[in-house]
Amino acid sequence: MTQPLFRTDAYLRTAQARVEALTAEGGIVLDQSIFYPTAGGQPGDSGRIVWDSGVIPVATTVKGEGDQIVLVPAEPVALPPVGALVTQDLDWSRRHRHMRVHTALHLLSVVIPLPVTGGSISAEKGRLDFDMPETPGDKEALEAELNRLIGLDLPVTDEWITEAELDANPGLVKTLSVQPPRGSGQIRLVRIGQGDGTIDLQPCGGTHVASTAEIGRVTLGKIEKKGAQNRRVSILLAD
């Protein structure tokens, strides 16, 4: 098992760890990871690991067997031995942009309160696919409302509920194509706002900024037709 340090502190940029295992494909499994693995439309993190006799650039991070997180080297190189102490250095600029885009997409699902059928995130933009038979008539109004919510500087926090509590509140799940992972008995929720001022609460395992104002201004890209019932709405970071 790899302890996911990013789950308790998405702002952690460096941390030490022990090499737990090496995969047949040349991946590196650590006992704890600040690197987020590809999941839920969010790309795996990149960066590097350093130990007493080497440095390895990390191209991406993926899920392994069970609860393992696997770091994928950017090129074939000599790997650190199992048991070695390494220092993880995250490509923070790229990760932080993923956090901004991911949080903005949560707000997009508030501005367009329709079931989500898919989505993806990059360092420059993101998109959600909605069960939306008709294209929205006023794209500028949607963009203005999205930026208004961003500007409210709302706190973004997480909390945990049981799988039974989620079953009793199925409306918390906005995504039709991806269901929250089950098996551990607990489901992580991401909340935007506080108390009666909460504007969004949904299951999510990704990384997010601590406040909506940290997202910065966004613009809406193309709204594309993807089948009879689906519309794809894209957002772009302004900087």
Q: Domain limits of the chain?
A: 3-90, 95-237
**pLDDT by residue, tens only, the chain of 239 residues:** 999 999 999 999 999 999 999 999 999 999 999 999 999 899 999 999 999 999 999 999 999 999 999 999 999 889 999 999 999 999 999 999 999 999 999 999 999 999 999 999 999 999 999 999 888 878 999 999 999 999 999 999 999 999 889 889 888 888 866 666 666 678 999 999 999 999 999 999 999 999 999 999 999 998 999 888 899 999 999 99
For residue 50, give the amino acid letter: V
Question: Distance between CA atoms of 84 and 176, rounded to whole angstroms?
Answer: 42
CATH 3.10.150.10 at 3-90, yes or no: no
Predicted pLDDT at 178: 65
Provide the pLDDT for residue 175: 80
Q: What is the pLDDT of residue 171?
A: 85
Q: Which of 46, 37, 55, 51 is nearest to 82 (CA)?
A: 51
Output the pLDDT for position 131.
Answer: 94
pLDDT score recorded for residue 83: 97
Q: For residue 198, what are the contacts with CB-CB under 8 A and spacing of at least 6? A: 191, 192
Q: Give CA separation, 234 vs 15, 127, 152, 179, 226, in Å.
A: 34, 4, 21, 22, 13
Both tokens assigned to 212: 């909506």
- pLDDT for the residue 73: 97
70, 37 contact by CB (below 8 A): yes
Q: pLDDT by residue (tens digit) across 130-153?
A: 999 888 878 999 999 999 999 999
| Separation CA 131–CA 116 (nearest Å) | 6
Residue 181's pLDDT is 66
Tokens, residue 101: 């885009």
Bridge-partner residues for 22, per DSSP? 28
Nearest to 200 by CA among 238, 169, 155: 155
pLDDT for the residue numbered 177? 65
Classify domain 95-237 at the CATH topology level.
Answer: Threonyl-tRNA Synthetase; Chain A, domain 2 (3.30.980)
